[in-house]
Structure 1
Amino acid sequence: MTDVRQAITEEQWQRARLIWDYHQMGHDLAPVDVAIGLGSHDLGVATTSAGLYRAGLFQVLVFTGGNSPTTRARFPRGEAVHFREHALELGVPDSAILVEPNAANTGENITLSRELLAANGIRPKTVLLVSKPYMERRSFATARRLWPEVEFLCASEPLELDDYRKSIGDERLVLDMLVGDLQRVIEYPKLGFAIAQEVPEDVHEAYESLVRDGFTSRVIGSGRSSS
């Protein structure tokens, strides 16, 4: 196990970059009926959503998310509420935003957003999911499982891993989160939470190596949220 005070090695960062690249879907963006900004600790989701709205990719934007132990201090009124406020500051009109303030995990992000849209008479055929950079693949796999008739695209703030780790300020936490999301990509299809995604051998080896090194605070069964 890696001591929490031990510096992260370049080999570990190389493995993390493999996982980072895998998490991102690389979709070519196009106009869609609706965008859903998935709640998290990362305000970049709201910033990116606002930019894509101004670029004309959609006319309706849902922000979804309540609170979790990792976001309650930063977003005390709830993730979706704070994301909406940030998007308003960036020029998105209030009339374009719907707020879903209760979701506690990614599955609820999708199902409750779908219900909110339906309640407003909106039944989209195409949806853009805006998430943290390392959450694109998991959000895609979850949405395809829960809303299979919709075509999904994924987007996130265009950052390299080195820039993202600086923006978060806790390098070990970044690796823990990369590992935790990949574990969910691997395990959630077995539980019926997501569609299966092929994991390349080098990515799987990088994941297993980082688990052995102790980057496990966000894995299922660690005492953290499994959302």
Structure 2
Amino acid sequence: MSYNGTSTTTTEEQLQRAKLIWDYHRMHHRLRPVDAAIGLGSHDLGVATHAAELYRAGLFTTLVFSGGNSPTTKARFPRGEAVHFSEHATRLGVPEDAILLEPDAANTGQNIAFSREVLAAAGVVPKTLLLISKPYMERRSYATARKVWPEVEVFCTSEPLEFTDYLKSIGDAKLVLDMLVGDLQRLIDYPRLGFAVEQHVPDDVHAAYESLIRDGFTSRLISS
């Protein structure tokens, strides 16, 4: 069996390796009410959808959407990720006065640091914080927040999608596998660069990562 998205066909073996990485990236935190939440900007509007669901469920009363633009989002969200995410969330029932905008962040560290400043300016100094991200960005978001904002208790969440359902929702398996590999590279490399706290990577996850790199899922890798 293979998955044929909008670009390259991926094999069943590659998808199995990718699912190992997908499962590792997810933190499986038990959700609870928190003082504030941050929706991390990206190409995935599902972040805003999930944020709206959690707001309506009463998990928080203050929501920051953070993000400017990147090469993967500029065409889709020309006015910036935070702005488009906010508009989507308000259409789903989140009141405008519950949302704060952070429109300048260009990476995850900035998402968190700049959102902290936006919250402080609004008089919100949270002790507990929920990070809402793409499914495969949960662990790196957590590791980054523990470095950038160690005083706050951090929880992570994302849309409750299975791996195959997420592939279908994005429609491009090659892009998703590239992103999975790229996020894991950052998770491995960023602690020594001072951007995140270290996370243990199991041997089977590391082997799957190296195999997918050999297979060419490298468009989201960075020079290190």
Q: CA deviation at 1:6?
A: 5.7
Q: CA RMSD in A?
A: 1.1
1:67-107 C-alpha deviation (Å, 9 max, x unpaired)? 01110111011000000000100000011000000001101
Which residue of structure 2 lines up, in the alignment, with residue 221 of structure 1? Answer: 223
Structure 1: which 5+ residue stretches go unaligned? 223-227
Alignment of 1:38-49 (within 5 A): 38-49=40-51
In structure 2, which of residues 111, 130, 134 is the aligned counterpart of residue 128 of structure 1? 130
- SS state of the match for residue 129, structure 1? strand
Tell me the TM-score normalised to structure 1 length. Answer: 0.94
Which residue of structure 1 lines up, in the alignment, with residue 4 of structure 2? Answer: none
Which residue of structure 2 lines up, in the alignment, with residue 225 of structure 1? Answer: none
Mapped to 2, the partners of 1:26 and 1:199 lie a distance apart of 16
CA contact (8 A) 2:134 2:158 kept: yes
User: Which runs of structure 1 show a deviation greater than 4 angstroms over 4 or more consecutive aligned residues?
Assistant: none
Which residue of structure 2 lines up, in the alignment, with residue 154 of structure 1? Answer: 156
CA contact (8 A) 2:68 2:103 kept: yes
Letter in 1 for 2:208: A
Mapped to 2, the partners of 1:176 and 1:138 lie a distance apart of 15
Letter in 2 for 1:52: L
Which residue of structure 2 lines up, in the alignment, with residue 113 of structure 1? Answer: 115
1:102 aligns with 2:71: no
Tell me the TM-score normalised to structure 2 length. Answer: 0.96
1:175-219 C-alpha deviation (Å, 9 max, x unpaired)? 000000000010000100000000011000100111111110001
Aligned residues: 218
Which residue of structure 1 lines up, in the alignment, with residue 30 of structure 2? Answer: 28
Mapped to 2, the partners of 1:170 and 1:55 lie a distance apart of 31
Structure 2: which 5+ residue stretches go unaligned? 1-6
